[in-house]
Amino acid sequence: MDVDVVVIGMGPGGEAVAGSLAAAGLSVVGVENNLVGGECPYWGCIPSKAMVRAGDVLTEGRRLPRFAGSADIEASWAPVAGRVREVTAAWDDSAAAERFTGKGGRLVRGAGRITGPKEVTVGDEVFRARRGVVIATGTAPAVPPIDGLEGTPYWTNREAIEAEKLPASLIVLGGGAIGCELAQVFARFGSRVTVLEAGPRLLGPEEPESSELLRTTFANEGIDVRVNAKAERVRHDGDGFVINDDLRAERLLVAVGRRTNFAGLGLGAVGLDEGARFIDVDDRMRAADGVWAVGDLTGKGAFTHVADYQARIAARDILGEDGPGADYRALPRVTFTDPEIGAVGLTESQARERYSDVRVHSTDLANNTRGWLHRAEGFLKLVEAEGRLVGATSAGPMGGEILGALAVAVHGEVPVERLRQMIYAFPTFHRAIDAALL
């Protein structure tokens, strides 16, 4: 069957590019082996933030740990599980599928394989794309080769999101964004939580101040954080999991990152490396002649907003429209713990590696009037290089929202001196920008 474009993978990026092209009048086939919408609406961003919000409400005014076992604590989890089913439509992608087909696209269920230049095979059907193929197959949870882990009923983010029952105790492998968010959620509802991080600190890619803030918060909430701690052995018995022969918990959550899996995708048919970790793309999302790639598998950031951004660029290129290429200088990222940690652009250490003239401006939220009123813990850190803002971290209440103004400044290469001349509303959290610069 001849069509204009075939999109393999209908996660956030794939759905966005497929929908845009279909709405523009192209004949588009979207191929999906799971749920249209991908990880984010069903097992990632949306349900996890519903869980985070529930935990925030539960603990307002209270920061003392409580642990699973009592009837009221067990009962408090039931509305959370119900809310997750609600926001995920009980893992039903009918609305997402209709959103795409309503624009004129054709949805094909199954695993797509590139079988030649501009050719994709799904089961017994062969689709020949006049314009080309978009690869958007995303990533899956990475599972480390730990002795004894394979074959045990460990959780990834998917099983944690779908949990109907609150575990009395939980070990979380991985102190990144996913691990930290879910660790805090389960702890706030009553699970005894231990986080094992192989690196020297939580949230390793972020500023050290962010790591320390979160470590202190977790300690106050009864979460046991162990850094430089590797799981060497895993054993599962009738009562739960045992790590390294001495650490026991009812459940084990593996949250050590994400991985691509190109096996069976047929990248070799278009000259791409099937053994590569990511697919290399140019600033127009082109991976090869007649092939575009968007989303996690490009290695530019495993975020829905990156996939959506890349999808817009790929769609323009396929349609032959002009527009700017990809620019990741002001890539924002948020860890939705409490306190919320938002960051954009370069960290201080990254800036010092690239520039000789670097200055850092920071302030404690306790010195901010709104922060003082909220008894908030957190900070604002601005990284200046050669007179311009190149990075920032906003850690505290609504850290991701405050990040918006800083992302604009980084993207626009705004001189720091110009930021000093701005008027910042009082009393707001974002007025901390003014305090940091002064």
Write the CA distances from 397 to 4, 65, 328, 338, integer angstroms. Answer: 47, 20, 26, 7
Note whether 211 and 219 are within 8 A (CB).
no
* 140/419 Cα distance (integer angstroms): 41
**Residue 68 in this model has a pLDDT that exceeds 80:** no
Q: What is the average per-residue pLDDT within 248-273?
A: 95
pLDDT 10s digits, 301-330: 999 999 999 999 999 999 999 999 999 999
Write the CA distances from 401 to 55, 98, 405, integer angstroms. Answer: 19, 32, 8
pLDDT 10s digits, 190-215: 999 999 999 999 999 999 999 999 99
Write down how long the chain is. Answer: 438
| DSSP 8-state secondary structure symbol assigned to residue 216 | H
**Residue 345 in this model has a pLDDT that exceeds 90:** yes
- The confidence band for 371, taking pLDDT boundaries of 50, 70 and 90, is confident
Give residue for tokens 């990040």.
Answer: 403
**Residue 344 in this model has a pLDDT that exceeds 60:** yes
Q: What is the average per-residue pLDDT within 89-118?
A: 96
**Residue 70 in this model has a pLDDT that exceeds 80:** no
Return the ∠ at Cα 88 (arms to 86 and 91), rounded to 5°.
115
For every residue of 36-64, DSSP letters joined together read TT-HHHHHSHHHHHHHHHHHHHHHTT---
Note whether 338 and 54 are within 8 A (CB).
no
What pLDDT does residue 43 have? 94
Give residue for tokens 């954009």.
Answer: 344
What pLDDT does residue 7 have? 98
Note whether 112 and 6 are within 8 A (CB).
yes
* 202/170 Cα distance (integer angstroms): 17
pLDDT 10s digits, 121-140: 999 999 999 999 999 999 99
* 411/326 Cα distance (integer angstroms): 12
